[in-house]
Amino acid sequence: MPLLPSAVLLAVFLAGPIGYCVYYAFTNMQLTGSATTDFVGFDNFTRAFGDPDFLNAVWLTLVFVVGSAIIGQNTLGLALAVMMEKASKPVKAITNAVVIAAWVLPEVVAGYLMYAFFFQQGSLNAILDSLHLPQQNWLYTLPILAACLANVWRGTAFSMMVYSAALNDVPQELIEAAEMDGAGPWQRLWRVTLPVIRRSIMTNLMLVTLQTLSVFGLIYAMTRGGPGNKSQTLPIFMYQQAFQNSLIGYGTAIALVLLLVGALFSTVYIRLLKLEED
Amino acid sequence: MRTRLLAAVSVTAALAITATACGGSSSGSGSSSKTIKVVYQQQLNNSNKVQANFLAPMVKQFEKDNPGTKVQLVPVTASSNDYYTKLQLMMRSPSTAPDLVYEDTATINSDIASGYLKPLDDYIAKWSDWSQFADASKAAVKSGTDGKTYGVPDNTDTRGIWYNKKIFAKAGIAVPWQPKTWADVLAAAKKIKAADPSITPFNIYTGTAGGEQSTMQGFEMLLYGTKAGGNSLYDSDQKKWVVGSQGFKDALEFIRTVYSEKLGPPVEQALGANIGAAVGTEMIPAGKLAMDIDGSWMPNNWIRNGSKPWAEWESTMATAAMPTQNGQAPGRVSMSGGWAWSVPAKAGNPDLAFKFIEFLETKEASAKWNAENATIAVRKDVATDPAYLKALPTNKFFTELVADTHYRPALPAYTQVSTAIQKAMESVTTGQASVDKAASTYDNDVKTAVGADNTVKGS
């Protein structure tokens, strides 16, 4: 019974808009230029899959998710958590503060900070210059790499916290036993710690993947998807189609594809978790 | 755990909805019959308050002349693309529709087709001043389909080349300067670059971040100067959009040349959203830019109450007409647009809104506005007014360009075609695509936007 209000809220505010979204995706609705809205079946989807810009956006989204979430945030978060276990109190406190500061910043603020960091006269190039290393025009030559690094910087705290909690649950006796058997630190990590926390790994992977799939403000503030379409991930592409080209129907269809990609990732992770349990 | 998550999500959702609802009602139309909401664009360059400064005393006077009425100004701070989007979203619903909106004539036809605007024929029939408006500017606010009028234009503009006489003299180019062909323009740019590498020789807007500025001041100033002239973008005889033309490729090639030979601003700056403000308020006044294809409104930046007061502009800057590609007749080319006041279809108080338009567009008010905003007059009595012509030393030059100017195709699909042009420009500017590749991408984009049977192969 106490669930009822939440369920009603969810139905109205979450399921409702998604239902509308599904409907719009099958229409040619426009923000301007056309007064009527017709049902066009799968036209928007066939158009998307024949559109090189859309395929480019799908590819960049995958690069972004795999690079910054699955490899970047996840691995770095785990590494930080493992190192923090052994660290002294002050080091722990400082690392925590820095990493979590990046996490609590609003996405757009983080985007502007990262813009200031990466742009041509920005702090990164100033640092490179003082080290006598060649400067790079990060946002222009390799915008997707800059966006990945920014997302790693911003999102690693989350993984670190998940893993810190998980590592606390690894029974100390197991580690000690492995140590007695002569396992080195790498072997202990690989053969004892990781298998024990594997469920947290899956959960974390799923959460960071979903968070990263929907990143918009960060990239928009840094590059607006440019130059050209070199950092145009699906959320940016969707925004541009819907609000710059006024093609609401087409934009919504892309949103739906994004939703499906997210669902696909989640299903894979959940299945992997299930296999574990069986 | 699960319940808590659900609760958290629903609370967040509820908060978000409440927030939007509040936003909605606060920008809703004036419900009282004596109040109107007037929406206009406050440019991102925050120091440019020309329109705000013009409107504020007008509102005061109007409220004084019409006791009990209230005019609420709602500036929307945004880039032009975002401004159009915001306007369209507001006009969609009766609860958010303003009573009066400031519309770019480039988007007015799309908004007419969407049913966002109210025909004003009944009002202008009773308005004697309407006969003073130039026919070309009336055509820009008239629907192509039903022939009704949907706005009252308050200015137009023309475009040409602004150049710095001092830099030209130093580079050994005789002034006054008037190029005859595109090649002349590039030759001058190369000469300036050779004379002083620290100066940017030439600016032509490009890329998606600049929006319509890239399409109109940049690309169309070239395209309409190619062989097909006024029919190079849209063939008005066959009523079809032109694809696959050599003129389109030539114009792209010009852009590619400028940026690949580093005759323009650094590419990453040229493709930034801020380039317009940088050109007008930094590069030109600092004497760092020799030539710029831009509009008649440029002195806006430099006049006493502009964003970068610069008294020496009159002795430093000169204007030249943009030549056609190979100097073919009529020898020069310009593009015109302009803005108009329109009443949304869902406005709560259209009568008072139109009354306010009449008040904003009397001869005296128009003359003041065109002079302050450095725009070209649309009222015939203002255009011939010596006070207006002398308000800026460049007014005469830009008013005369009207004879050879072009208007953009007044069609709903124009916005999408314009985006496709910006994309093509951006890909050759960055070197991401060759001219041929970019042109064929453009052709496909246009065919997708308007349907292949609404296109025709150009020459």
Q: Where are the domains of chain B?
A: 19-157+337-407, 159-336+413-457
Token pair in block for residue A139: 């946002």
Interface test with B, best of A6, A12, A32 (most B CBs within 10 A): A32
Map tokens 């830009």 to a residue: B398
Contacts with B107 from chain A: Cβ below 8 Å: 32
The confidence band for B9, taking pLDDT boundaries of 50, 70 and 90, is: very low
Element (H, E) at B444: helix B435-450
Coil, helix or strand for B234?
Answer: strand
Which residue(s) pair with B295 in the sheet? B159
Burial class (CB in 10 A: 0-12, 13-18, 19+), A19: exposed
Q: Which residues contact A76 (CB under 8 A, 6 or more apart)?
A: A152, A156, A159, A160
Best-predicted range by mean pLDDT (A82-91, B3-12, B167-176): B167-176
pLDDT single digits (tens) A58-74: 999 999 999 999 999 99
pLDDT for B15 equals: 41
Element (H, E) at B38: strand B35-42
pLDDT single digits (tens) B206-263: 998 888 899 999 999 999 999 999 999 999 899 999 999 999 999 999 999 999 999 9
Q: Which residues contact B189 (CB under 8 A, 6 or more apart)?
A: B201, B202, B258, B263, B290, B291
So where are chain A's domains?
21-28+38-275
**Cα A184 from Cα B190, distance rounded (Å):** 67
Whether pLDDT at B348 is above 80: yes
pLDDT for B135 equals: 85
**Cα B338 from Cα B107, distance rounded (Å):** 11
Burial class (CB in 10 A: 0-12, 13-18, 19+), B276: buried
> Does A13 sit within 8 Å of B13, measured CB to CB?
yes
**Cα B300 from Cα B309, distance rounded (Å):** 9
pLDDT for B207 equals: 93
> Does A10 sit within 8 Å of B432, measured CB to CB?
no
> Does B416 sit within 8 Å of A9, measured CB to CB?
no
Contacts with B443 from chain A: Cβ below 8 Å: none
A150 sits in the region (left: phi over 0; alpha: psi -120 to 50; else beta) called alpha
Model-level pTM? 0.82
Single out the residue of A175, A164, A29 nearest to residue A92, CA to CA. Answer: A164
In terms of residues, how long is chain B? 459
This model of the complex carries an ipTM of 0.75
Interface test with B, best of A244, A247, A248, A250 (most B CBs within 10 A): A244
Element (H, E) at B153: strand B152-155
**Cα A68 from Cα A46, distance rounded (Å):** 30
* DSSP-derived secondary structure letter, A135: P
CATH numeric code, B19-157+337-407: 3.40.190.10
Q: Which residues contact A274 (CB under 8 A, 6 or more apart)?
A: none
Q: Which residues of B touch A (CB under 8 A)?
A: 3, 6-7, 9-10, 13-14, 16-17, 81-82, 84-85, 88-89, 107, 110-111, 113-116, 207-209, 267-268, 271, 273, 412-413, 415-416, 419, 423, 426-427, 430, 432, 441, 448
b/e for B303-314, b at 16 or more Cβ within 10 A? beebbbebeebe
DSSP H helices in B99-145: 105-113, 121-125, 135-140
pLDDT single digits (tens) A205-263: 999 999 999 999 999 999 888 788 889 999 999 998 998 888 999 999 999 999 899 99
| Contact call for residues B297 and B121 (beta carbons, < 8 A) | no
Of residues B115, B426, B448, nearest to A227 (C-beta): B426
Contacts with B432 from chain A: Cβ below 8 Å: 227-228, 230
> Does A140 sit within 8 Å of B115, measured CB to CB?
no
B331 sits in the region (left: phi over 0; alpha: psi -120 to 50; else beta) called left
B142 sits in the region (left: phi over 0; alpha: psi -120 to 50; else beta) called beta
**Cα A222 from Cα A240, distance rounded (Å):** 15
Coil, helix or strand for B380?
Answer: helix
- Give chain A's residues under pLDDT 50: none
| Contact call for residues B344 and B245 (beta carbons, < 8 A) | no
pLDDT for B21 equals: 40
- The neighbour count for residue A12, using CB atoms within 10 Å, is 14
Fold of A21-28+38-275: MetI-like fold (1.10.3720)
C-alpha separations of B53 from B65, B304, B306 in Å: 19, 13, 11
Angle between helix A123-130 and A107-118 (nearest 10): 40
Separation of first and last alpha carbons in chain A: 32
> Does B113 sit within 8 Å of A246, measured CB to CB?
no
pLDDT for A1 equals: 63
Token pair in block for residue A148: 């990945």
Separation of first and last alpha carbons in chain B: 68
Contacts with B7 from chain A: Cβ below 8 Å: 6
Minimum distance, in Å, between the CA of residue A16 and any CA atom of chain B: 12
pLDDT single digits (tens) B389-426: 888 889 889 988 988 899 898 888 888 899 999 999 99
Minimum distance, in Å, between the CA of residue B387 and any CA atom of chain A: 40
Long-range contacts of residues B62-68, Cβ cutoff 8 Å, at least 24 apart = B62/B356, B62/B359, B65/B359, B66/B355, B68/B34
Coil, helix or strand for B417?
Answer: helix
Equal CATH topology for B19-157+337-407 and B159-336+413-457 = yes
> Does B208 sit within 8 Å of A2, measured CB to CB?
no
Tell me the average pLDDT across B154-182. Answer: 96
DSSP H helices in B283-349: 313-316
pLDDT single digits (tens) B81-133: 789 999 999 999 999 999 999 999 888 988 998 999 999 999 999 999 999 99
Single out the residue of A80, A104, A79, A102 nearest to residue A92, CA to CA. Answer: A80
Whether pLDDT at B177 is above 70: yes
CATH numeric code, B159-336+413-457: 3.40.190.10
Element (H, E) at B42: strand B35-42
Coil, helix or strand for B163?
Answer: strand
Angle between helix B50-65 and B363-373 (nearest 10): 160
Burial class (CB in 10 A: 0-12, 13-18, 19+), B447: middle
**Cα B308 from Cα B305, distance rounded (Å):** 8
DSSP H helices in B66-134: 80-92, 105-113, 121-125
pLDDT for A278 equals: 63
- The residue ranking higher by pLDDT, A20 or B285, is B285
Coil, helix or strand for A141?
Answer: helix
- The residue ranking higher by pLDDT, B80 or B324, is B324
Whether pLDDT at B55 is above 60: yes
Q: Which residues of A touch B (CB under 8 A)?
A: 2-3, 5-7, 9-10, 13-14, 30-35, 47, 51-52, 120, 137, 139-140, 224, 226-228, 230, 243-247
**Cα B257 from Cα B39, distance rounded (Å):** 41
**Cα A74 from Cα A162, distance rounded (Å):** 10
Contacts with A226 from chain B: Cβ below 8 Å: 207-209, 271, 426
Tell me the average pLDDT across B62-69. Answer: 94
**Cα B212 from Cα B418, distance rounded (Å):** 7
